[in-house]
Amino acid sequence: MRLDAHYGFILPEYSNFNLLINKPSSGFEFSLEKKTTGKTFWEQVYKYPEFGFSFFFITLGNKDVLGNELAIYPYVKTFLIRKKRFQLSNQFGLGAGYATKRFDLETNYQQIAIGSKLNVHFNYKLGTQFKLTNRLLLNVGISFSHFSNANMSEPNLGINLVTGFAGLNYALSEPNKFSTIEIPQHQPKHEFALIYAAGGKHTRALQSTVYFTSSLSAEYKFHWKRKFHFGGGLDLFYDSSTKVEMGQDNPDYKSIYDFRTGFHISQEFVYDRFSFILQEGIYVGLVDRVDKSVMYNRAILRWKFSDRFLISVSMKSHLHILDYPELGFGYYFIKKK
């Protein structure tokens, strides 16, 4: 188990934050971790990663307007350096956050960052661990946290936090020894996939209506390395909020504007059947008539639950502006090079 103290600040991305924030952010984090010992070659490839679950509490610099955030999230920690007494690690977590203060037109109109109590919480840590005893470790590092409601309620600017952390990690039992197995040689492969995804979004007009969104994507990936694949694909998007956002009585609106088309490049970081994918795309053909965006992005968590089918959770955005979440289902097949 692990206990860390946090101290830092909210990134002042918007001028309003400079006026609202009157003190630094501080809090604590309690985590339960499980170590891997090398039962699969994937554990060995990633230097025996650790998986855990965290409870996180942080103040947001203005108790009356922004309040505090509480979050619970699972995470995975992989190691860049793993020596006997020193470790350097990456940690990624994604879960749910609860904001004690949200936007209210009458009672809290200054809270322009968060429009809902329940939010999505993302966390990344770059940390070091120093071995004090066989069971006790000292943790020191830097943490980045983002929470927002994925455009399911307005306003949704979101809050980004940077904190330094320090704490202790105590093993409840004697650490198991790492085992090693023979790692099969990686063979480059080609992967093809067809994926349908659906989601929903609010407009920027503080309306309560959730508008249906969906996408169809044809993808290609080259399995260049065991842990890293890259490729590209074609995308067709549908957004039923287009007419509302262009204006109900706008004479320039056409139903075809509900659709967008484009192509993307992608980078996929792989752990067995799970992967994290980043996509950067450009609208071509049917372009964005609402925000006039040229580029789009997607961050995707994907699980290949069989040799032919996959499911995914993704977030579509225009650079740093979140658009909407998607739940996807797809078919894929792999051919050897």
pLDDT (tens digit per residue) in 59-99: 998 888 888 999 999 999 999 998 889 999 999 999 999 99
- As its CATH architecture, domain 189-336 has Beta Barrel (2.40)
Predicted confidence (pLDDT) at residue 17 exceeds the cutoff of 80: no
CA distances 291 to 57, 172, 276, 298, 317, Å, are 35, 53, 27, 17, 12
Give the H/E segment covering residue 282.
strand 274-283
8 A C-beta contact, residue 41 and residue 181 = yes
Maximum average pLDDT range among 9-18, 195-204, 291-300: 291-300
Of the chain, the percentage scoring pLDDT greater than 90 comes to 64
Kindly indicate the confidence band of residue 100, based on its pLDDT and cuts at 50, 70 and 90. Answer: very high
Give CA angle at 200 (199, 204), nearest 5°. 145
Residue spans per domain, the chain: 2-170, 189-336
pLDDT (tens digit per residue) in 110-131: 777 787 888 989 999 999 999 9
pLDDT of residue 65: 87
Predicted confidence (pLDDT) at residue 256 exceeds the cutoff of 90: yes
Query: What tokens does 175 get?
Result: 């650490």
The mean pLDDT value for 144-156 works out to 80
pLDDT of residue 111: 77
Give the H/E segment covering residue 240.
none
pLDDT (tens digit per residue) in 277-301: 999 999 999 999 988 999 999 999 9
Cβ-based neighbour number of residue 71 at 10 Å: 24
Kindly indicate the confidence band of residue 14, based on its pLDDT and cuts at 50, 70 and 90. Answer: low
Nearest to 216 by CA among 137, 320, 97, 326: 326
The residue behind tokens 């101290």 is 7
pLDDT of residue 324: 87
pLDDT (tens digit per residue) in 203-254: 765 566 889 999 999 999 999 999 999 999 999 999 999 998 888 778 889 9
Nearest to 144 by CA among 159, 158, 162, 128: 162
- As its CATH architecture, domain 2-170 has Beta Barrel (2.40)
pLDDT (tens digit per residue) in 152-164: 777 777 888 999 9
pLDDT of residue 148: 84
Pairwise CA distance, residues 58 & 278, whole Å: 28
pLDDT of residue 161: 92
Domains 2-170 and 189-336 share a fold: yes
pLDDT of residue 250: 85
